[in-house]
Amino acid sequence: AIFLDGHPERYRESSRKVRLVLESFSPLVEMASIDEAYLDMTGTARLHGPPLAAAHAVHAAIARETQLNCSIGIGTSRLIAKISSDQAKPHGILQVWPGAEAAFLAPLPVRKIPGVGAKTEQRLRDLGVTRVCDLTQLGPRRLERELGAWGIALAGKALGQDAGGWFDAGVGQRDAAKSISHEHTFTNDTADPAVLEATLGRLSQMVGRRLREQGVAGRTIQLKLRNSAFETITRAHTLARPTNLDPPIWDAIRDLFRANWRAGTAVRLLGVQVSGFETEAPQNELFDRAPVERWRDATTAADKLRDRFGDGVVGLGGALGANFREKTHEAMPLPKEKTEPNQ
C-alpha cells in the first residue's frame, strides 16, 4: 500500500477558516478534529433565529467564506448532532426535535453510534443487536454484564444521551486540559510485538506533538492496553522531570508495555497519555542539558517538517510502520474501566 499525506498545510488553513466562521455564530465552538466541530447555540436565537434558520446561515457562510461543502446536524446533545450530521451528508441539514431522539436513533444500524467499531458490532450481533432499538430492548443491566461500563454508556447513547467518553464535556466549556492522550484501535487484533511497539511509538510522538503545541510538559506517562477479550489495563510511570519531547515519552511507554504485555496476547487497543502538567519544563542540570537541548532542537525541526509535509514524514525509529491518524483526547483521563473508545 502507498500512504499519501496530501496537503496538511491547506487542510489546517481550511480548518482555521471554518472555525472563524463558526465563531461568528457562537462563542462556544469546539473543534473535535480538523473537519468536525460542535457549536452551542444556546442564547443566540435573537441574533440568528431558530436552530434550523441558524444552521442554514452557517451552511451558507461556510460555503461563501471557504468554498467548502458541509453537513450540519441539530440536536439536544452532541451525540445527536453528530449522528444527524452524518445522516445529512454530503451537504445537507438535519434537525432532530427535542423528545424525538430515541425515535430518530431506533431504526439506525448500531454502528452509527460513535465508538461502536467492527469488533463491538460483531459482539452485539451475537447478542441479537443490529439496530439501536435492539439496545434499548436488551437493557442497561444486560449490556453492563456483556460489555462492562461501555455497555451502560451504550444504553444511554441509544436514547440520545451524551453518555460516556469525551462527549461528557460541555461544548467549548472544558477545563484546561488535565491530560492529553491518543488511542488506536486495530482493525484486526494483533499480537505482533513489532506492530504493537511501532503503534506505541507513533502514539507517543503524536502526544508529544500536542503537548508542544499547547506549551505544556507532563510528568506522568500512562499506557492503556485492551486485549481481544475486552479486558483493559492502565499502567503509569512518573518521570523525575516533566517533558514534552517524544523520546522520553516513548521510552517510558515502551518500558510499561514490555512489563505488562504477555507475549502472544492479542491486543485490540493501545493508548498513550501524559498528565501532571507544568507550563514549561524546568531547567535541567548542567550535565544532562546538552542531550535534552539536542533533542529539543531535533524535535522542533521535525515539527516544522510535519507541518509542511504531514505527520508521517519524520518521527521516531520505533514508530516506523505505524500508518494511522487519530483524534486527540484532551482533558479526559484514560478510563480505567471497560469502555469502548471513539473511532
Whether residues 225 and 314 fall in one domain: yes
What band does 282 get if pLDDT is binned at 50, 70 and 90? Answer: very low
Whether residues 149 and 230 fall in one domain: no
Is the pLDDT assigned to residue 165 strictly greater than 50? no
> Is the overall model pTM greater than 0.75, yes or no?
no
193-214 vs 286-309: helix axis angle to the nearest 10?
90
Q: What's the rounded mean pLDDT across residues 158-162? A: 84
In this prediction, residue 200 carries a pLDDT of: 95
CA–CA separation, 274 and 267 (whole Å): 21
Q: What's the rounded mean pLDDT across residues 38-47? A: 89
Lowest mean pLDDT among 71-85, 87-101, 226-240: 226-240
Whether residues 114 and 233 fall in one domain: no
Whether residues 244 and 155 fall in one domain: no
- Strand-pairing partners, residue 185, are 269
Whether residues 206 and 299 fall in one domain: yes
Whether residues 32 and 119 fall in one domain: no
pLDDT > 70: percent of the chain: 74
Here the CATH number for the domain that contains residue 282 is 3.30.1490.100
In a domain, 25, yes or no: yes
The C-alpha cell at 215 is: 506549551
Let me know: does 249 contact 164? Beta carbons within 8 Å: no
Q: What's the rounded mean pLDDT across residues 81-95? A: 95
The C-alpha cell at 180 is: 492529553
Of 139, 168, 197, which marks where a domain is finished? 168
In this prediction, residue 195 carries a pLDDT of: 93
In a domain, 97, yes or no: no
CA–CA separation, 167 and 331 (whole Å): 12
In this prediction, residue 88 carries a pLDDT of: 95
Q: Name the one residue in this structure whose C-alpha cell is 533533542.
A: 295
Whether residues 198 and 322 fall in one domain: yes
Is the pLDDT assigned to residue 24 strictly greater than 80? yes
Q: How far is CA 87 from CA 93, 112, 116, in A?
A: 9, 9, 16
Active site members: 36
Is the pLDDT assigned to residue 332 strictly greater than 50? no
Whether residues 217 and 308 fall in one domain: yes
Q: Which helix (H) or strand (E) holds 242?
A: strand 232-243
CA–CA separation, 83 and 280 (whole Å): 39
In a domain, 336, yes or no: no
CA–CA separation, 21 and 146 (whole Å): 44
Helices (H), 158-214: 193-214
Whether residues 196 and 267 fall in one domain: yes
Here the CATH number for the domain that contains residue 39 is 3.30.70.270
Of 50, 70, 90, which marks where a domain is finished? 70
* Interval 195-241: pLDDT, tens: 999 999 999 988 988 888 788 889 899 999 999 888 888 999 998 88
Whether residues 298 and 250 fall in one domain: yes
Of 112, 133, 168, which marks where a domain is finished? 168
List the helix and strand counts (H, then E) for the chain.
Answer: 12, 9
User: Across 103-112, 137-146, 170-179, which has the greatest mean pLDDT?
Assistant: 103-112
Lowest mean pLDDT among 92-96, 274-278, 283-287: 283-287
Lowest mean pLDDT among 173-177, 302-306, 329-333: 329-333
Domain residues for the domain of 12 are 8-70
Here the CATH number for the domain that contains residue 117 is 1.10.150.20
CB within 8 Å of 125: residues ≥ 6 apart: none
Whether residues 212 and 278 fall in one domain: yes
Three-state SS across 208-237?
A: HHHHHHHCCEEEEEEEEEEECCCCEEEEEE
In this prediction, residue 323 carries a pLDDT of: 55
In this prediction, residue 176 carries a pLDDT of: 52
> What is the total count of domains within the chain?
3
Q: What's the rounded mean pLDDT across residues 24-43? A: 87
Q: What's the rounded mean pLDDT across residues 33-47? A: 88
Q: Report helix, strand or coil for 130.
A: coil
CA 2 to chain centre: 25
Is the pLDDT assigned to residue 126 strictly greater than 90? yes
Whether residues 187 and 153 fall in one domain: no
Q: What angle do CA 198, 202, 203 make, to 5 degrees?
A: 115
Nearest C-alpha neighbor of 337 from the set 230, 186, 221: 230
In a domain, 309, yes or no: yes
